[in-house]
A and B are shown apart, each in its own frame.
Chain A
């Protein structure tokens, strides 16, 4: 999915992007 952005009222920007498969821990 494309990146999404959330800007908190305090002004900080959170950019959400998919986690690379390689970085996810095996269940």
Chain B
């Protein structure tokens, strides 16, 4: 995955059973962002792998004032990369 300067990780262990997972996102390299992030803390949130999209979450984070609108794409990409990795691991853990 490309180094976007925004780190996204699982906030709790994923057993592959629930469609909703908990993620944690924080800025590792503020220089990679166009706007100044509002807070330098880690933002924890839930994400439904089946119903939601990373773009929705990124937009809500911008609307909640965490990130500048110019950084919505990079935030969405960071979430998308981590979600893809989680789904890939799930497929390996329990193939259909």
Q: Name A's B-contacting residues (CB within 8 A).
A: 1, 4, 6, 8-10, 12-19, 23-25
- Complex-state Cα separation, A25 to B40, whole angstroms: 12
Task: Describe B's contact surface by its main secondary structure.
Answer: mixed
- Complex-state Cα separation, A13 to B9, whole angstroms: 17
A16 touches B41 (CB 8 A): yes
Q: Name B's A-contacting residues (CB within 8 A).
A: 7, 26, 28-29, 39-46, 56-57, 60-61, 63-66
B61 touches A14 (CB 8 A): yes
Knowing A24-B28, A25-B28, the reply to whether A10 touches B60 (Cβ < 8 A) is yes
A9 and chain B: residue at smallest CB distance? B63
CB contacts (< 8 Å) of A15 on chain B: these are 43-45
CB contacts (< 8 Å) of A23 on chain B: these are 7, 26, 28, 42
A19 touches B29 (CB 8 A): no
List 8 A-B pairs, minimum CB-CB distance, nearest first.
A16-B41, A8-B60, A15-B44, A25-B28, A19-B42, A19-B26, A6-B64, A14-B43
A18 touches B46 (CB 8 A): no
Tell me the smallest distance from the CB of B7 to a CB of chain A, in Å: 7
A12 touches B45 (CB 8 A): yes
